[in-house]
A and B are shown apart, each in its own frame.
Chain A
Amino acid sequence: MNVQPAPEVLRCRGLRKEFGGQVVLDGLDLSVAEHQVVALIGASGSGKSTLLRCVNLLEELHDGTIELDGEEISAPGVDPDRVRRRIGLVFQSYNLFPHLSVLDNITLAPRRVHRRSRAEAEARARALLDRVGLAAKADAYPDRLSGGQQQRVAIVRALANSPRLLLLDEVTSALDPELVGEVLTMIRDLKADGMTMVLATHEMTFARDVADQVCFLDSGRVIESGPPEQVLAAPTHPRTRQFLSRIIEAGRLPG
C-alpha cells in the first residue's frame, strides 16, 4: 500500500434515499481515493445505481453528505451543473444522442459547457476515439454502431469533459457476451491511466481483476468492503457469502 495515503476524491457519509417510502440507500458510507477503482457489487435493487445517480446529483438525497475533493457537493446552494462537469457518468443503456453523430455526441459538452472552440473539441474527440480504435466511426450515427462500440463512445463522451471521477453504471449489462471484452479492455486502460472510478458491475471476474476495492451492497448499505481477494475469495459476512455462492453457481465467477 501507499506510504502516504492518496487524497480522497469522493467521500459519502450516511447517504439515505427513499423511493415512495421504500428505503434504497440506508446510511451508506463510501470513500474513494485518487487513482482508485472501486467496484460496487450486490444483487439488483441493492442500491448500486441509485448511489451513482446520487453522487452525480441526478437524484435528491434524503440524508447524508457527499464530498468531492473535500468540497461538500450535497450542500444546499451548490450548482449541480458545476459539480457534474467534474464527474462523468456512463449508463447501462449508453444513452447516446441518436440525432447527433458520434463526434457531435462527444463534443456537445466540451463546446456548450466548457466553451471550447469546435476545432479544439473535435481534435480532442478524434484523439480519444483514435485511442479506442473508433476513429473511423467519428461521423457515423449511433444506430450504425454495435452495442460495444456505442458504449465505448459513451465512455469517450464522459471522458471528453476530463472528469475527476468516472462513474460506470453496469456498463456491460446490456451487451452481448462477445462485446463485453472490448468495453472491459477500455476500462482497464483507463485504470492504467490513473482514472479514479466507481463502477457498479455484475462481472465478478472483472471486479476481481481491475478493482482496488470491492464493496458489497445489501439493502442500501455497504456491508463488506476490502481488496477483491478478500471480499470475493474470503468473505466474512454471511450475506456476502450467500450472494457469492449464488454467483459461483450461476458460473459467473470461477470458484
Chain B
Amino acid sequence: MSTLLHQPSPAQRARDAYRRRQTRFSVLVAAASTAAVGTLLAVSVTGAPGWERVRQTFLDPQIARDALPRVLTGLWLNLRLLVCCAIGALLLGLLIAVLRTLRGPVFFPVRALAAGYTYTFRGLPLIIVLYLFAFGVPGLRVQGTPSVLVLGALALILTYAGYLAEVFRAGIESVHPSQLAAARSLGLSYRQAMRHVVLPQAVRRVAPPLLNDVVALQKDVGLISLAGPIDAVRAAQLASAQTFNYTPYIVAGVLFVLLAIPLIAVTDQVTLRAARRQSGG
C-alpha cells in the first residue's frame, strides 16, 4: 500500500531519469555492435572464394528436405537411447557413489572396486569402450549375447556412470556430517539416514551438474552410429554417401541442437533455482 502512495523525491526522480538514459544508450550500443559483427561475419563467409562450393555441398535445401525423414527416424532412436542411458547411468552412478562412501574394513573390497571403476571409466575414451562392447563382446559367441544396440547403450551407461558417480559423491560429501549424526541419534540406521536425510539433500545440490552431464550424454549418444545401429548420425552418413553431399550432416546437427535446447533450458532453470535457494531467497 505504502509503495503506491509513495511520492519519489526530486533526487530519486533525477536518479531514475539518469538510469533510463543510461539503459537506452546501452541498448543502442549493443544493437550497433551486434549489427557490425554480424555483417562482418556474413560478408567474410559469403565473400570467401570457395563459398559457392561450400554452399552447394553443405547447405543444399533440396537434399536437406529429402534427408530429413530418414534423419528424423534415426533421431527417434537417439531419443530412446538417451532416455534409457540417462536413467541407467544416473542409477548406476548413484549406486557407485554410495558404495564409495561406505566406511569400515568389511567394505574395503567394495570401496576399492567402486573407486577402480570411476578411475577406469573416466579415463577410458568412450569410443574404445564402445568398440570393446559392440565388437568385442559378440566375438565371444556366448549364447544370449544382446544386440549391438544394447551393448552400445551399456558402453554409454558404464562410461557416464563413472562421471555421474563422482558428481553424486561430491554432493554426498557436501552434506554436513552433523546431518548424519542427527539422523543416527534418532535411531535411523545408516541406510535409512542415507536414504531419507543425506541423499535427498545431496541430489538437490548437484542437480545442475548432473543435468549438464545428461546434456553431454545427449550428444555422445550419436557415437553409437560407429557400432552400426542407424541413428540420426548414421542416417545422415548414409544419405550423404548416396548424394555425395554433406547437407544431411547439417540437418542432423541442427536436430541435435533442437533436441538439446529443452534439456539445457531445464538445466539453467534448476541451476537458477538452486542459486536462489542458496542465497536464502
Contact = CB atoms under 8 A, between A and B. Distances in A.
**B is a partner of A:** yes
A236 interface: no
Interface stretch (B9-17, B194-202, B230-238): B194-202
Interface in B170-208: 178-179, 181-189, 192, 196-197, 200-201, 204
Interface in A56-77: 56, 58
Most buried by A among B181, B187, B197: B187
17 contacts: A58-B181, A81-B189, A91-B182, A95-B179, A96-B182, A97-B179, A97-B201, A98-B201, A108-B183, A108-B186, A109-B187, A112-B196, A113-B188, A143-B280, A157-B186, A158-B185, A161-B186
B188 to A, nearest CB: 6
Interface residues of B, number: 18
A155 to B, nearest CB: 12
B179 A84 contact: no
Contact of A89 (B179, B185, B196): B185
B185 A58 contact: yes
B201 A112 contact: no
A184 to B, nearest CB: 21
A114 B204 CA distance: 27
Nearest to B197: A97
Given A93-B178, A97-B179, A97-B197, A158 B186 contact: yes
Contacts of A143: 280
B192 A112 contact: yes
A89 B183 CA distance: 10
Contacts of A91: 178, 181-182, 185
B205 to A, nearest CB: 10
A66 to B, nearest CB: 15
A114 B187 CA distance: 9
A244 B41 CA distance: 80
B201 A99 contact: yes
B9 to A, nearest CB: 35
Given A98-B201, A112-B192, A112-B196, A81 B182 contact: no
A85 interface: yes
- Minimum-distance CB pairs A-B, first 4: A95-B182, A109-B186, A85-B187, A89-B185
Contacts of B185: 56, 58, 84, 87-89, 91, 158
Contacts of B181: 53, 58, 91, 95
Nearest to B200: A99
Contacts of B204: 99
A81 B188 contact: yes
A56 B187 CA distance: 10
Given A84-B186, A112-B188, 5 more contacts: A53-B181, A84-B184, A109-B188, A143-B280, A157-B186
Interface string A95-131: 1111100000000110011100000000000000000
Given A99-B200, A99-B204, A112-B196, A81 B187 contact: yes
Contacts of A97: 179, 182-183, 197, 201
Contact of B184 (A58, A82, A98, A157): A58
Contacts of A112: 188, 192, 196
